Structures are given as C-alpha cells and as structure tokens.
Amino acid sequence: MNKKSIIVIGAGMSGLAAAHELNKAGWNVTVLEARERVGGRVHTVRAFSSGLIAEGGAEYINESQFRMIALAKEFDLRLGNVGTWQNQSGDWAALEGKTGLMEDKALWGTDLSEEYKQVWVALAELGKQVSDPANPIAAINARELDAQNAQSWIESLQVHPLAKTLFANHIRAEYTCEPKNFSLLDLARNGALYYSDPDAADPAFRVIGGNDQIPNAIASRLPDLRLNAVVSSVKVQAEEVVVTYKQADSFHTIRAAYAILAIPLTTARQIDFDGSLPTAHHAMLNGLSYGSVTKVMIEYRRRFWHERGWNGRVNTDLPIIYTWDATSHLEGERGILTAYTGGEPGAALTRLSDTERIQTAVSAIDRIFPGFSDLIENTQTIAWGNEIFTRGSYMAYAPNQVTAHWQALFSPAGRLYFAGEHATIYQGFMEGAVESGQRAARNIIEKGQ
C-alpha cells in the first residue's frame, strides 16, 4: 500500500484545508463528502435578486485570521469590511418592549453601551485565569472553572440587568448555546484568546461574491474528490485505515495509510468505528455538546434601516436574538437583513417549518421597525440542526467537558486524526477549521517521512 496515502472524510473547510496541504506535498489524497457540494457549514445562499447573496453558514473572517486571508489571496478573492463582531457604533437594542440606540440614556435610563462595555472589561479579567488559551486544562483552577457555567458568572456581575441580557444573547450568538450550558472555563479561555483588551476591535470581513468561493477553489485543485459519498464505517488498524462509504446504491471500501475525520462529531456518531477507537476518543466523540442556530435572510427592495439611523444590528429579547446587514460590505439600494438565532431560541426556531421560521423573523423585525414588510422581495432560511450532515451548529463546551475531552480532541486515535472547528483553539470559526486541517496534514506529513 502507498505509505503516503490518506482518506479525508468531509469536504468542509477543515477537510479541504488538510487535503490541499497533503496534495501539494505529493500525497495520494481521497476526499469523501456526503453532500452534493463542498464547503460544509460554509454555504453561500444565491437565491436573491440582482446578484445579491447572503451567508447561510459561516460568515466572518477577522483581520487577525491570517490563514483564511491567505487562502483568499491565494485564489485572488477580495474581502469586504463589515466592522467588528463585538460591537459597533450605531448598534440598537430591542429589550422589554423598548427599541433604540444602546447609547440612548433617555430611553434606557443609562448608557447601555457603556454598561455593556463593563461586561467585556470583566471578561478580560476572567480571561487572566487562563494563561495559555491553547492549553486551558493547565490553568491552576481549571476543574473549578470548568464545573461552573457562564450564567452564574453573568449573574455575579455588577452591571445593569439589561447589560447582562445583552451578554447572554452574545453567548447565544457566538457559542450558540445557553449560558447555563456553557463552561465557564471555555468562556475564560475565549476571554484570554480574543477579548483581553476590552477596547480592541478586530475588524471582520466577508468574501466579496461569497465565502463559498474559497472551498470551491480548493476543491477544484483536488484530483480525487467524491461527492454524495456517505461514510458508514471506519476501522483504524495497526498499518492502515479501512473506510466504507455508500455512493448511489453501492457500497465501496477503500484503504489508506492514514485518515482524517473532518466532519462534525454529531455526524461522526452515525459512523461505525467497529470498536477501533481508544476509550478517551470514543467518550469525546459521543460526549461533546453542540449548540443550535438558525438564520433567516430577508431581502428588502431598499435598505430602510439607513433611513432610521440603524446599522442593521440589533440585540433583542424577541425570538430572533440578533440581526445584521448581510450586505453591509456592498453598495446598492437593495439589502438583506439576517436574523441569527442561537441557544434555546434557536432550537425553538429549528423545530418550526421554514415558512413558520421566516414568518417569525419577519414579524419580529416588523415589531422593531413597523411598516417595512411590504419592501420584502425574497426570503431564505436554514436551520443547521435539521441538516442531516451537520445536526447542530458547532461545538459548545458544556460544564466539565473541557477538562474531560480537551486532550483527546487534539490527539490522533492511532492512524485517525481529527480536524474541524471543534478540534482547534479557534473553535467555531472558519479560521479554526483551516488551522485544524493544516495541523493534521502537517503532523501526518511529518510522520509519513
């Protein structure tokens, strides 16, 4: 058997990044993808007017995320600036029946934006308890922090109650889970990794023309990419990895010196590993939690939000949680608002039909800014929990899960390596998926020499 052969399971960003590196290094790479398209949770929706698009999945590339920026440059793709994810001037809130700019003291009885900033100051302080975000389990009080949830920490803050609501919604958006279901150790780790300076702002970008251009470009360079290939079993042996997959009505078995599992763990749980996973990896695969998220994308004939002095971003206690302008990096009269909902509200919307979910989002926005629904041209929605090859949003460490599974997540199971947004310190980002895939490829190349 070719000692430099590998099977990559999954053609999302992590699997494609790994395959790209291995292919360039001269390895014999076979990529198996269950969907009829590549990209996984990078999914650009192109069903709008006048060539407008919106991201149905992964959306943001931060200025500090050099791997994604490098890929965009490699394939001659341009990036459009959309501002910082954390907060922007002109952000609105819609809470307890009130709607307005967060800085509006007369409306809120306080400068809500300043109160909210104090939460980020507290998060920076919390992050100091994790000296190395790449190894949070080495923190002195790692187990103590991991046993707690983010909700208890939020409740302990000496800030305005509405600022606590805003940050709880931030957790529902960024980590797609409820604060009560999110490990305080991982919140501290993220605080150390991203938010150590509460005054810093890391600008974010979208790929002009669609984020999916990056995975499509990588896929075009791979010699052996098999779509509609649903993996049913993986057996890790001493000298090889044996993978069986179904394509159309036929089952096929292939062998390689190594394999990379680059799919969500929620989907990997459907694979038969024939008892070949070590105990720690088996527990990790079946034990780690995932969040829930939905998107509803609404195209308007004109960007009415500009008329109202609104930047399109609102943090709300309505069923949709967050909105933003999906076309903020583009000029033009038409625009698309995305309603982005995670945590328990996201799970509730996931249980609805597409029509019901869209109507819920349209009604919520109409409550905030009445009278503009007649401007709607097109609507699209996606609930990632209903996607059979995703079954959730992305990984969200529940209490006690960081200390239990961190080491297994970053270690190979014999000849099987793990990649994905879950197997990286940059969890939940395209950047993290790419980092994990490139790292897995590098480790395999070094081992195969």
Q: What is the pLDDT of residues 219-264, one digit of tens each?
A: 999 999 999 999 999 999 999 999 999 999 999 999 999 999 999 9
Homologous superfamily (CATH) of 5-41+212-288+398-448 is: FAD/NAD(P)-binding domain (3.50.50.60)
pLDDT of residue 67: 98
Asked whether 307 and 22 are in contact (CB, 8 A), the reply is no
Q: Distance between alpha carbon 45 and the CA centroid of its chain, in Å?
A: 16
Length of the chain: 449
Q: For the chain, which residues make up each domain, given as ranges?
A: 5-41+212-288+398-448, 44-85+203-211+291-386, 92-194
Contacts of 351 (CB under 8 A, 6+ apart): none
Q: Residues 432-441: pLDDT tens digits?
A: 999 999 999 9
Please name the amino acid found at residue 319.
P
**What phi and psi, each to the nearest 5 degrees, are found at residue 255?**
-130, 150
| Residue ranges, the chain, pLDDT below 50 | none
pLDDT of residue 1: 57
- For residue 7 the two structure tokens come to 């099977």
**Looking at the domain covering 92-194, what would its CATH class be?**
mainly alpha
pLDDT of residue 387: 98
pLDDT of residue 86: 67
Q: Residues 281-307: pLDDT tens digits?
A: 999 999 999 999 999 999 999 999 999
Domains 44-85+203-211+291-386 and 92-194 share a fold: no
**CATH code for the part of the protein at 44-85+203-211+291-386:** 3.90.660.10
- pTM of the predicted protein model: 0.97
